[in-house]
């Protein structure tokens, strides 16, 4: 998710292209850009990657004052054209464009209330309901209506909006999802992660604060704390898996935090092994930290195929073993006869790990010890991370020992929850509900269906 308020003649769509390109790890199923063109909002969006959907925007520079963009994977609502963001609508407040990262946890109740009142929903995403609330607000200005709306929302929402010639950036009071604001040569940049700002060489930046609403217009930048302070609960899974390693989120370097977690994992171990091997690329940073701390040689004994993944989709993705075999390749002479510590970021269903362990066994490892740079994943997320139902999560079914037997490893171990909390700072400020079940917002009613 990104937004730009321009002060020069640079091409807004081009800048948004590069910002979104850098954020594709956050969603590569659809991409979209909206920018102000005269009094209209031009829209380019579609299913597919940033490269495939938005490259036409690079053909020639397009002058514009303000624009926003979005990349998406389906957390809430199916992967249909109707759900691709930004969402644009016209209402009594004028034309509004909005992009949303997160999940509104009281969406069902709000939705019911709105449909009772006669609202129609053309998409299944949370985002449309924010627009409905703005339209129905009696607020005397757009910003007043927006604030009134935000007061009704619960859950996770980092937002960028366009209204008239203004760009708005909003982060929910709990600060679930990251959001950054930067400035360069008079232009203002909003992005989910700093890697998007780096791509645009925007060095001057800070976090948008939890509960902050920023408005950028030709009269300048104003900031408003729209909600009473509540305890912050930033998503720890961003640090563990979701964010890009070269990004800063929540004030932390993602790569360094993962190294720290890897080191913490090693500290708990008395296991003697010959090599530490990351599952590329998700286990890379933690493996470096683990190997350093454990004093065991780091070895790149699993290589990753650059022709697979996002760019190439097999006609049948049902064959998980084949998919893993096409993507990850063990270096047999580096593995054969060795006791291998395999480092991955987390364990979800266990399917990929099972196939991975099989590959490493075929390469004749003497022992395979799978280490996860995260605690056991046991609870669903209602704040924007796509985690399967409880029944599908392997840690709700099996103990680490049982998992080891199930996937064919010699041992499996997770980072203890208290160690994770120690790594990220014991004074809280993080939501680790997917590991702990400690939801910072009541979600009992939603847990029933999860």
387's torsion region: left (phi>0), alpha (psi -120 to 50) or beta? beta
Q: How far is the CB of 181 from its own copies (least distance, A)?
A: 18
Question: Among 86, 182, 330, 375, which residue interacts with its own copies (rule: CB under 8 A)?
Answer: 330
Contacts of its own copies in 202-261 (CB under 8 A): 244-246, 248, 253, 255-256
Structure tokens at 295: 């004093």
Site size with its own copies, rule: CB under 8 A: 80
Q: How far is the CB of 437 from its own copies (least distance, A)?
A: 32
Question: Among 10, 77, 121, 417, which residue interacts with its own copies (rule: CB under 8 A)?
Answer: 121
Q: Quote the Cα angle for 228-128-434, to 5°.
A: 60
Contacts of its own copies in 155-174 (CB under 8 A): none
Q: Which residues lie closer than 8 Å to 27 by C-beta, 6 or more apart?
A: 70, 71, 72, 73
Q: Which is nearer to its own copies, 333 or 442 (CB)?
A: 333
Residue from 359, 373, 286 nearest 329 by CA: 359
Q: Does 141 bind its own copies (CB under 8 A)?
A: no
Structure tokens at 173: 């009071």
Task: Give the interface segment with its own copies, choosing from 51-59, 222-230, 367-375, 409-417 (CB under 8 A).
Answer: 51-59
In whole angstroms, give the CA distance from residue 382 to residue 434: 9
Residue from 421, 417, 395, 416 nearest 406 by CA: 395
Question: Among 65, 205, 293, 325, which residue interacts with its own copies (rule: CB under 8 A)?
Answer: 325
Q: Which is nearer to its own copies, 248 or 432 (CB)?
A: 248
Q: Does 9 bind its own copies (CB under 8 A)?
A: no
Contacts of its own copies in 85-114 (CB under 8 A): 87-92
Residue from 376, 378, 375 nearest 392 by CA: 378
Q: Does 447 bind its own copies (CB under 8 A)?
A: no
In whole angstroms, give the CA distance from residue 422 to residue 420: 5
Omega into 281 within 30° of 0, i.e. cis? yes
Question: Among 115, 389, 399, 402, which residue interacts with its own copies (rule: CB under 8 A)?
Answer: 115
Q: Does 331 bind its own copies (CB under 8 A)?
A: yes
Contacts of its own copies in 52-71 (CB under 8 A): 55, 58-59
Q: How far is the CB of 6 from its own copies (least distance, A)?
A: 19
Q: Does 393 bind its own copies (CB under 8 A)?
A: no
DSSP calls for 375-410: ----S--SSS-----GGG-GGGT--HHHHHHHHT-S
Q: Which is nearer to its own copies, 219 or 318 (CB)?
A: 318
Structure tokens at 50: 């940033």
Q: Does 303 bind its own copies (CB under 8 A)?
A: yes
Q: Which is nearer to its own copies, 358 or 390 (CB)?
A: 358
Residue from 126, 99, 89 nearest 23 by CA: 99
- In contact, 175 and 209? CB cutoff 8 Å: yes
Contacts of its own copies in 23-42 (CB under 8 A): 24-25, 28
Question: Among 159, 161, 296, 334, which residue interacts with its own copies (rule: CB under 8 A)?
Answer: 334
List 101's β-bridge partners, or say none. Answer: 158
């Amino acid at each position: 998710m990104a937004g730009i308020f321009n002060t020069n003649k640079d091409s807004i769509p081009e800048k948004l292209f590069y910002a979104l390109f850098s954020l594709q790890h956050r969603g590569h199923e659809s991409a979209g850009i909206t920018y102000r063109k005269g009094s209209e909002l031009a829209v380019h969006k579609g299913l597919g990657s940033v490269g495939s959907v938005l490259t036409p925007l690079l053909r020639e520079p397009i002058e514009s004052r303000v624009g926003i963009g979005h990349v998406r994977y389906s957390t809430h609502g199916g992967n249909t054209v109707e759900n691709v963001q930004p969402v644009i609508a016209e209402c009594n407040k004028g034309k509004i464009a909005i992009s949303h990262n997160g999940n509104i946890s009281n969406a069902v109740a709000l939705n019911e209330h709105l449909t009772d009142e006669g609202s129609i929903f053309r998409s299944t995403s949370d985002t449309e309901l924010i627009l409905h609330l703005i339209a129905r607000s009696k607020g005397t200005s757009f910003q007043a209506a927006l604030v009134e709306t935000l007061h009704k929302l619960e859950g996770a929402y980092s937002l960028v909006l366009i209204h008239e010639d203004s760009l708005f950036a909003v982060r929910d009071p709990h600060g679930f999802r990251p959001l950054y604001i930067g400035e360069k040569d008079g232009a203002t940049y909003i992005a989910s992660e700093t890697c998007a700002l780096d791509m645009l060489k925007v060095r001057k930046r800070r976090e948008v604060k939890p509960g902050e609403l920023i408005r950028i217009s030709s009269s300048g930048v104003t900031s408003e704390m729209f909600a009473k302070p509540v305890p912050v609960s930033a998503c720890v899974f961003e640090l563990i898996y979701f964010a890009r390693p070269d990004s800063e989120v929540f004030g932390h370097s993602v790569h360094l935090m993962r190294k720290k977690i890897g080191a913490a994992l090693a500290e708990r171990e008395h296991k003697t092994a010959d090599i530490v091997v990351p599952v590329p690329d998700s286990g890379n940073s933690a493996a470096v930290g683990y190997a350093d701390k454990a004093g065991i040689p780091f070895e790149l004994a699993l290589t990753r195929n650059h022709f697979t993944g996002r760019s190439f989709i097999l006609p049948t993705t049902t064959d998980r073993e084949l998919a893993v075999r096409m993507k990850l390749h063990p270096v047999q002479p580096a593995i054969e006869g060795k006791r291998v510590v395999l480092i991955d970021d987390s364990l979800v269903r266990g399917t990929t790990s099972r196939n991975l362990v099989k590959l490493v066994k075929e390469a004749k490892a003497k022992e395979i010890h799978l280490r996860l740079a995260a605690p056991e994943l046991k609870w669903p997320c209602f704040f924007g991370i796509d985690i399967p139902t409880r029944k599908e999560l392997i840690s709700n079914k099996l103990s680490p020992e049982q998992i080891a037997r199930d996937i064919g490893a010699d041992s499996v171990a997770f980072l203890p929850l208290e160690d994770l909390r120690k790594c990220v700072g014991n004074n809280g400020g993080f939501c680790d509900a997917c590991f702990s079940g400690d939801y910072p917002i009541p979600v009992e009613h939603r847990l029933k269906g999860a």
